[in-house]
Amino acid sequence: MSQHTASEVPVLSAEVREALDRGRPVVALESTIIAHGLPRPRNLAVGAELEALVRAEGAVPATVAVVDGVAYAGLDKAQLERIAGGEGVRKLGHRDLAPALATGATGATTVSATAFLAARAGLRVFATGGLGGVHREWARTQDESADLALLARTRITVVCAGVKSILDVPGTLQRLETLGVSVLGYGTDRFPGFYLADSGEPVDWTVHRPEEVAAVMAAQDALGGPESALLVAHPVARAEQLDPELHHRVLAEALAECRERGITGQAVTPYLLGFLVKATGGASLEANLAAVRGNVRLGARIAGAWAARA
């Protein structure tokens, strides 16, 4: 059993604690991409690369994970290697955090768990790849990512490349509107589709500079409404996106295969993502990483603009 008290959730690394004390910019990073999103040993290299990108922009990275029943914001090298090692590393959404802490588990945090722990630690910016959302055939299955409801009640700015294109994008945007989560297009009036720069859906608000995002964050606080998140939808560069024709063809094949095999519920997303990687010869993975890198850089710049307002 973990001996840490509730007041120490999450435990901050010395670097993150010092940055917060000094009002320096900090960016939260999730750990699921390291443990479950990439093949080994590339996953560890990417985890270290994303932290380096944050530092290169003048901010401090706070990779979030649970190690031996202790939630951390900011991992040391050994902890990062442990999460990347994969042995017995669970995938933790925010609902899994209490059992994980109580039983001494080790796990990588998803968007919802990372956002929750980061906000709890006093961090305001979180950079990730694509959000979860409403699944296709939602009307029949009621299958929706836990990310959405958690973001409706968590004050954090999430820089993402929209939602995974395998999801119901219009349905997800409708849900975000219902939940009162603001969405800004960064340098675009189109909602990005993770692998694709444009999902085909519009966004209502467009910003072009990190300072504009920080101004919206400040206005959120001034309004004093529900403690909801701010989504900054930042498209992957068109030169680095997955070829849209290839994407649409492969996704149609993957969805057909799901129906034929009777794959449903939580098994659908990992199956579709795996199918895309194989059928595109790894191109979807490269587009995924290009999006994450861009989001991490932008997240660091937004954190810098936010820190400069203090």
Cα angle for residues 178, 187, 63 (degrees, 5° grid): 75
Residue with tokens 């902890």: 79
In the chain, how many domains are there? 1
Q: Is 164 part of the annotated catalytic residue set?
A: yes
**Residue at 171 is within a domain:** yes
**Residue at 1 is within a domain:** no
Q: What is the pLDDT of residues 86-130, one digit of tens each?
A: 889 999 999 999 999 999 999 999 999 999 999 999 999 999 999
% of the chain beyond a pLDDT of 70: 95
The range of the structural domain enclosing residue 52 comes to 6-309
What's the pTM value of the predicted model, to 2 decimals?
0.94
pLDDT (0 to 100) of residue 1: 41
**Residue at 280 is within a domain:** yes
pLDDT (0 to 100) of residue 90: 96
* Residues pairing with 72 in the sheet: 11, 65
By DSSP bridging, strand 190-193 and strand 182-186 are unpaired
**Residue at 127 is within a domain:** yes
pLDDT (0 to 100) of residue 140: 63
C-alpha span between 6 and 57 (Å, rounded) = 33
143: its two tokens: 């299958």
Looking at 51, 57, 144, 164, which residue is catalytic? Answer: 164
Assign 270 a pLDDT band (cuts: 50, 70, 90).
confident
Q: Is the peptide bond before 10 cis (omega within 30 degrees of 0)?
A: yes
Q: Is 57 part of the annotated catalytic residue set?
A: no
**Residue at 45 is within a domain:** yes
pLDDT (0 to 100) of residue 141: 64
**Residue at 32 is within a domain:** yes
**Is residue 2 pLDDT above 70, yes or no?**
no
Q: Is the peptide bond before 235 cis (omega within 30 degrees of 0)?
A: no
Assign 177 a pLDDT band (cuts: 50, 70, 90).
very high
pLDDT (0 to 100) of residue 252: 94
Q: At a CB cut-off of 8 Å and minimum separation 6, what does 120 contact?
A: 9, 10
- The CATH number assigned to the domain holding 69 equals 3.40.1790.10
* 85-94, 142-151, 198-207, 292-301: least confident range: 142-151
**Residue at 255 is within a domain:** yes
**Residue at 85 is within a domain:** yes
Over range 214-238, report the average pLDDT. 97
Assign 8 a pLDDT band (cuts: 50, 70, 90).
confident
Q: How far is CA 156 from CA 24, 41, 117, 118, 227, in A?
A: 16, 31, 10, 8, 9
- CB neighbours of residue 202 within 10 Å: 13
Handedness of CA 56, 185, 156, 133 (dihedral sign): negative
Looking at 30, 51, 57, 144, which residue is catalytic? Answer: 30
